[in-house]
Structure 1
């Protein structure tokens, strides 16, 4: 927004310092003047230096000035003192304001650099903690988070573009082949195009869900995670039976505040991920809910391949599928755990991924517990 130019903060502080110093000087001179008036008569008086007993006057008289005489002597000196105070206040105030505002200049320069796209610069203001130091540290923290967010968004955009381009390129190839061979059987072509189109729709819906969850634009209500775990388990039980995976669900009632639809999606993604990335024919999944002092915990564990902590920490990144990128009818679109991470953060929770010693993964979602209802 365009603004009219005005006085700089340094000049305003300088004038404020000088004005305060002038007011203090005027008040001090006024106190001195009032104090002197108590001992000065209204008119000038001449007193005899010595008075003999007979009443005669001996020697020269003693002259006592009046208030008008005192004013003529006091006013020039007071004007000189006030002029000195004015000059001293302006010069000293200008230097003092510049010294006080030096950290603000560094913060302003860093802000301009960030506006121009340089997010790697940090202020790193030295010295002890004060208001400017707290502002600089908060700004550095904001830049760190913003740089990480921008880098994450760039990686996400690149991965999403690649994921969307792949099925579109395959569709184009299939259509080119069909155009070059018009007498070819179209049944197989239609089936493959249908599968590609379904996958593209799933990917688009997952991207939209990821965006909506990150905006936190949802109504919070009391949700029981144990009921969501049972619903997700019942829904995905046919998939588990098809892949030979057993599911065990247990736990306490775990009330929390949030969106039931998003938390159900979170639970579905966790259970689906545990079923798909498992040992074929002999896998197992354990879904547990527990209630703590101020939080509720949803834990999903599964058997599977050995994972390293470094690899487990990357699984919440978009389009990551463990040790390799596997496409199948139930492999998903690579956004399952990314959506879980976004929904967890939108509900002010924490997400922890820990490799199991026997193979597989343990995923824990910890959310704030809902406050108990107040009896009336």
Structure 2
């Protein structure tokens, strides 16, 4: 089916002309009203008949004949003043909108670094310009993040494909190749590529907020997640302690389950080589619900903690040759899911080693303090 032909709309009268004509119209109508008042309330007391006196005394008709030309001239003067003054005033009033329009045009062309930066006292135009600048700043930051994420995702997705291609080329040139070992290795690389793709899909779903909100108990989800990951914790000699309040929120059960699973999985994998611990707690406060996951581990410098929630950031020492290290999207997915639920993620290095991760979510029924 062919796309409908769009007929270009005719450009109407500019806003400046509309304001100018409106201003001139108000001035002219006010002048007409004033002249009408003079005619009605003053001329009616002057008789229309000839006035007999020792000298010439004009009657009503004489005054009207003398008044009309002067009134017409005065109306033309008022019209000129209204048009000129209206044009100047409208230009000054619309100048901020012109600046905002130029900034919007530059943004439409891909330049998000330009700002309106409207000066002067705060008024409606200043508020509009500030909101527009804030929007441009957020768009620029979001665009930069998306570009960086796309570049990292492309690199991460390219890696398993390049590994598979290299393995196949080596196997083709090796007459004594081990087919079973090749299949096992290819299956491992393919599974990692699938894991990365699924993580990207979850991340995209969380950013679009395309999910149905329903009542969810975080404490139950925490118990389910820890039970699922218990075999991994036992293999790595990590003890998990789960507890806390019954914490109800509104959100997606699947996404919040993914959030908790990622946090517990990270806490298990990035832990001590032996005798490690993971503590999972849920807390209910008057205006918020908190999910806290703490683990033991290496001492983390503050600059590393600040980057852990960025996509594909695993930490140099934490991402050693480990089959369970993940694809570098665990905390990034947690942050996006928290933001999609109008919450936030807070990372804090623990004294003595390890990490404290707190997810704050809105309370479904805020209580007065």
* TM, length-normalised to structure 1: 0.93
Report if the CA contact (8 A) 1:320-1:335 is conserved. yes
Aligned-residue offset at 1:38: 2.9
Aligned-residue offset at 1:63: 4.1
Distance, in Å, in 2 between the alignment partners of 1:183 and 1:322 is: 39
Q: Per-residue displacement from partner, 1:1-53 (whole Å, max 9, x unpaired)?
A: 84321211111111111111100110011011111123211222214xxxxxx
SS state of the match for residue 84, structure 1? Answer: helix
Unaligned runs of 5+ in 2: 1-5
Unaligned runs of 5+ in 1: 48-60
Q: 1:144 aligns with which of 132, 137, 142?
A: 137
Distance, in Å, in 2 between the alignment partners of 1:314 and 1:132 is: 38
Distance, in Å, in 1 between the alignment partners of 2:47 and 2:303 is: 94
Q: 2:329 aligns with which of 325, 335, 347?
A: 335
Distance, in Å, in 1 between the alignment partners of 2:181 and 2:93 is: 76
SS state of the match for residue 38, structure 1? Answer: helix
Distance, in Å, in 2 between the alignment partners of 1:370 and 1:65 is: 85
Q: RMSD across aligned C-alpha pairs, in angstroms?
A: 1.5
Q: Per-residue displacement from partner, 1:240-280 (whole Å, max 9, x unpaired)?
A: 11001111111011110001111011000000010001111
Q: 2:22 aligns with which of 11, 16, 38?
A: 16
Distance, in Å, in 2 between the alignment partners of 1:257 and 1:20 is: 55
Distance, in Å, in 2 between the alignment partners of 1:292 and 1:113 is: 45
Aligned-residue offset at 1:115: 1.2
Distance, in Å, in 1 between the alignment partners of 2:101 and 2:21 is: 22
**Structure 1 range deviating more: 239-248 or 303-312:** 303-312
Q: Number of aligned residue pairs: give it.
A: 360
Q: Partner residue of 2:10?
A: 4
Q: Partner residue of 2:3?
A: none
Distance, in Å, in 1 between the alignment partners of 2:85 and 2:304 is: 61
> 2:39 matched to 1:45?
no
Structure with bigger gyration radius: 1
**Structure 1 range deviating more: 243-252 or 323-332:** 323-332
> 2:168 matched to 1:209?
no
Distance, in Å, in 1 between the alignment partners of 2:314 and 2:174 is: 36
